[in-house]
Amino acid sequence: MQPTFALYLLGRQPTPVAWEHRWLRWPDFRLPSDRATTADALYEAWARAENDRVEIACGGGKGRTGTALACLAVIDGVPNDQAVAYVRQHYAPRAVETPWQRRFVSRFR
């Protein structure tokens, strides 16, 4: 099933898709290039997920995607200091791969 909306967390612009999407410049194993734009896009994805099928994707599905999912968990009420563990338990045990990605989640809001 295709998404209605997607966030693509990549170091370069993704190939065109048929559905509405936003691209966040986010190189592999790094942090997003623009934190404010990233926060705005994550809040949009969270709000749209209530009624739309939302996809969040990076190249490997663990580091950047895990970091974004942990930030979405924070938006949804999971305390910052528990969000990485929450995503690792409910999504992937190795999600949020780097110390700076964990720090990004701990400071997200």
Furthest-apart CA pair in the chain: how many Å? 37
Query: What pTM did the predictor assign?
Result: 0.96
What are the extents of the domains in the chain? 5-106
pLDDT tens across 23-74, in order? 999 999 999 999 999 999 999 999 999 999 999 999 999 999 999 999 999 9
Q: Which segments of 26-97 are extended strands (E)?
A: 54-57
What contacts 71, CB < 8 A, 6 or more positions away? 39, 42, 83, 104, 105, 108
CATH fold for domain 5-106: Protein-Tyrosine Phosphatase; Chain A (3.90.190)
